[in-house]
Each structure stands twice: as C-alpha cells, then as structure tokens.
C-alpha cells in the first residue's frame, strides 16, 4: 500500500477548515485539529486524523453537540467541574486546561473534572499542555466498554487512558507517560490481523472470558498487568467520573455511535513545580536523572534505555521535518471529505514516501 508524507502544518490547517465548515468556531476547530495532528506527529496514529471522519460524523448526527457552552458547574480555588453537555472532547479539554493552569499558577495545584464528554483523543496531548514549561500535567479519561474485572465475563469499564507529563529541562522537553490501561490498544490487534500476523495470547478475551487470539471472537481486552491495570483503570474513574459526578462507566455509550454522546468523564491536573522547589533545580535534577537512565548498561543487541515519551518525541522531530506519514486509503478518504465540505485536499497526495 502506498504512503504519503504530508506537511504537518498544512494538514492541521486542512483539518481546522474541515471542522470550521462543520460549524465549529475558529478556536474550537483549531483545538480539534491540533489534537489530531499532534497524535500523528508522535505516530500515535490511532488517535490522529484517522478520527476526522468519525468526529465529523458525530457532529453531523448530533452525537457531539455544537450547542454546548461547557459550563463550570462547581468551583473552588483549586478545583472545577465542567459539564461538557455532550460537546467535543477537544473543546472541553481546552477549557479545562486553561482553568487548571490558571488555578495552579495562583494556588500551586488544581484539578478540573469534566462530565458528559466525548472522546478526548491522545491523553498525552492534554498532559503536555497542562505541564507547559513549569508544571507537572496529568490527564485521564473514561472511555467506552472494553475491559472487565479480572476473571469476569462481561465488560465493566473502558481501557481508561492516563498521562503524566513534564518538561525535564531543555534537553528533554516532553517527558510523557501516556497509555491505555488495557494490555495493548485494540488498534494494535486490528493492525496485526490486517497484516496477516498472529495476535499473541493474553491480549483478548472471548464471550466466555477465555483467552483468544482470533480477532473475530474478541469480546473484551485484557487489563494491563492483570489486576494492577484494573486497579489503575479504577483510579482513572475516581479522578474523572466520581469527582465530576459523571455517568458510571458501565452506562457509557459506544464512542462509534454517531447520534449519541459517549458521556465519558475526564480529569485534568496541574501541579506548579515552584510550589515545591526551585524550577531550575527541579529541571536540572530531571535532566541528570534521564542522562543517567540513558547510560544504563543494556543486554546485547538492545537499544539504549529511553524515558517515556522519548520515542514519540523523536517521531515528532522527524515528522515535522519530513512530513506525517498517511496511508493511501486515509488520504483518499480525507480528500473525499474535503470535497464534500468544499476544502481542497489535493496537497495530501503531493509526496509519496517509502516511510512506514
């Protein structure tokens, strides 16, 4: 299959215009476009412009409301609760980040919880925005049903993602732990199946709760590290659903349904480092820590140890320079969507690439 290398800035501009013509304000359309293209820049492709079609579908069919005003329904100097009223995850996220950062600048730390939301994309995007230059950022979300309790036969919660980020000095600006709480993301199973490769045992469960390597029999995903991943997914629930007063996970809607909101909950945390110690000192020790990590002796044939977010940060540098890699099928779909909305996408097909 052919791949194309696409200039990230042009891709973001194109995506912004698509959402603009779908009825979003300039600022809201920019928030969505930035979120999606950021994921592609980091090669988190499952959360990139692949989501343009389902997001637009959801807007068109009423599952993502353009009427929401994202009201703050509860507030203290260190906390806030936003009701997304079934609006867009990127818009609620942008508002939550702004409030959390402002409160953390004044009070030292803050947590903003969101209820009645929709898919908020790559958790790391929000954690990094919350972190900025001077804070530790934290973001998490519930999502539609994909996992059960250890040993159970029915799904009970989603593979609730979470991310922590911090600028660890100028050398390491994007330290970012960002993951789903399932053993692997569903996208990885689909990708292996598409390429005719075997899906390892231990990733998926069938209708009876037994291990399966057959994608067509997959009913649930296994939790990351067994009971521990289950526990962490519940911690995400605590910070998001329970603090926001949101919809309990077993009652969340499937995110692919175009006409109803997912009704997921999110949390956005921000800790100002200077509330604890001198920021420069913090960043100096974080840099030294990662320098030492990089020097760890490795087993024969293994690459140097890396910090969380390092691979994705490297991808971002390459993709900014050489373009974001999009498969031909996606490029075709985007051009078609563009034509429907009167936005020219011919630039997407300008440069074929051997990069994968």
Smallest separation (angstroms) from ligand NAD to the CB of 223 = 12
- CA 84 to chain CA centroid, nearest Å: 17
Smallest gap from residue 266 Cβ to ligand NAD (A):
9
Establish if 34 lies at the interface with ligand NAD (CB under 6 A).
no
Q: Is 222 in the site for ligand NAD (CB under 6 A)?
A: no
By CB under 6 A, tell whether 147 contacts ligand NAD.
no
Between β-strands 72-76 and 211-212, what pairing exists: parallel, antiparallel or unpaired?
A: unpaired
Neighbours of 71 (CB within 10 A): 12
Q: Which of 148, 312, 334, 348 binds ligand NAD (CB under 6 A)?
A: 312
In this chain, which of 5, 53, 179, 193 binds ligand NAD, going by CB under 6 A?
A: 179
Residue choice 137, 269, 309, 338 for contact with ligand NAD (CB under 6 A): 309
Please work out, in degrees rounded to the nearest 5, the angle formed at the alpha carbon of residue 200 by the alpha carbons of 198 and 204.
Answer: 110
Phi, psi (rounded to 5 degrees) for 339: -60, -40
Which of the residues 245 through 304 are near ligand NAD (CB under 6 A)? none
Cα–Cα distances (Å) from 354 to 2, 209, 318, 322, 326, in that order, read 8, 41, 14, 12, 11
Q: Which one, 80 or 122, has the nearer CB to ligand NAD?
A: 122
Find the part of the chain contacting ligand NAD (CB under 6 A) among 157-165, 276-284, 333-341, 346-354: 157-165
Q: Which of 86, 117, 121, 323 binds ligand NAD (CB under 6 A)?
A: 121
The span of 57-65, 189-197, 271-279, 309-317 binding ligand NAD (CB under 6 A) equals 309-317
Of all helices (H) and strands (E), which one includes residue 168? strand 162-168
The Cα–Cα gap between 298 and 306 comes to: 11
Measuring CA to CA, which residue among 90, 68, 82, 71 is closest to residue 12? 90
Binding test (CB under 6 A) with ligand NAD, winner from 47, 101, 103, 129: 47
Least distance in Å: CB of 324 to ligand NAD? 16
Q: 30, 94, 118, 143: which one contacts ligand NAD (CB under 6 A)?
A: 143
State the minimum distance, in angstroms, from the CB of residue 281 to ligand NAD: 25
Total residues interacting with ligand NAD, rule: CB under 6 A: 25
In the complex, the smallest distance separating the C-beta of residue 278 from ligand NAD, rounded to whole angstroms, is 27
Contact residue for ligand NAD among 30, 68, 141, 319 (CB under 6 A): 141
Residue 67 buriedness (CB in 10 A; 0-12 / 13-18 / 19+): exposed
The stretches of the chain forming alpha helices (DSSP H) are 8-21, 26-41, 52-60, 89-107, 123-131, 186-194, 227-237, 243-244, 279-294, 310-322, 328-341
Burial of 209 (0-12, 13-18, 19+ CB in 10 A): middle
Asked if residue 185 binds ligand NAD (CB under 6 A), the reply is yes
Q: Rule CB under 6 A: is residue 123 a binding residue for ligand NAD?
A: yes
Within 10 angstroms of residue 140's Cβ, the number of other Cβ atoms is 28
Give the whole-angstrom CA distance, residue 238 versus residue 140: 10
Q: How far is the CB of 117 from ligand NAD (least distance, A)?
A: 10
Which of residues 120, 138, 230, 239 is near ligand NAD by CB under 6 A? 120
Among 177, 232, 248, 279, binds ligand NAD (CB under 6 A): 177
Contacting residue, 29, 33, 44, 91, with ligand NAD by CB under 6 A? 44
HEC string for 26-58: HHHHHHHHHHHHHHHHCCCHHHCHHHHHHHHHH
Residues in contact with ligand NAD by CB under 6 A are 44, 46-47, 119-124, 141, 143, 159, 161, 163, 176-180, 185, 306, 308-309, 311-312
């Amino acid at each position: 299959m052919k791949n194309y290398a696409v200039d990230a800035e042009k891709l973001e501009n194109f995506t912004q215009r698509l959402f603009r013509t779908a009825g979003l304000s300039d600022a809201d359309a920019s928030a969505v476009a930035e979120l999606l293209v950021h994921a592609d820049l980091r090669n988190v492709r499952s959360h990139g412009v692949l989501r343009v079609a389902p997001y637009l579908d959801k807007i068109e069919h009423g599952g993502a409301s353009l009427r929401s005003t994202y009201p703050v329904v509860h507030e203290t100097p260190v906390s806030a609760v936003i009701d997304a009223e079934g609006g867009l995850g990127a818009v609620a996220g942008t508002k939550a980040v702004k409030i959390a950062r402002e409160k953390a600048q004044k009070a030292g730390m803050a947590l903003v919880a969101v209820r009645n939301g929709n898919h908020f994309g790559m958790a790391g995007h929000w954690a990094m925005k919350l972190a900025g230059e001077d804070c530790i950022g934290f973001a998490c979300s519930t999502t539609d049903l994909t996992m059960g309790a250890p040993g159970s036969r029915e799904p009970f919660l989603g593979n609730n993602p979470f991310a922590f980020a911090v600028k660890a000095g100028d050398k390491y600006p994007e330290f970012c732990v960002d993951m789903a709480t399932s053993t692997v993301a569903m996208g990885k199973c689909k990708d292996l199946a598409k390429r005719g490769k075997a899906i390892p045992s231990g990733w998926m469960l069938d209708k009876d709760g037994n291990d399966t390597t057959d994608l067509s029999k997959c009913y649930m995903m296994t939790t990351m590290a067994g009971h521990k991943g289950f526990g962490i997914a519940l911690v995400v629930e605590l910070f998001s659903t329970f603090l926001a007063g949101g919809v309990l996970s077993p009652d969340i809607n499937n995110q692919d349904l175009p006409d109803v909101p997912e009704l997921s909950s999110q949390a956005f945390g921000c800790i100002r480092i200077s509330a604890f110690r001198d920021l420069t000192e913090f960043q100096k020790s974080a840099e030294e820590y990662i320098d030492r990590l990089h020097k760890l002796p490795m087993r024969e044939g293994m690459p140097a140890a890396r910090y969380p977010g390092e691979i994705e940060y490297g991808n971002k540098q390459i993709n900014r320079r050489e373009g974001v890699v999009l498969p031909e099928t996606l490029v075709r779909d985007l051009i078609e969507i563009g034509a429907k909305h009167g936005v020219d996408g011919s630039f997407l097909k300008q440069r074929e690439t051997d990069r994968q």
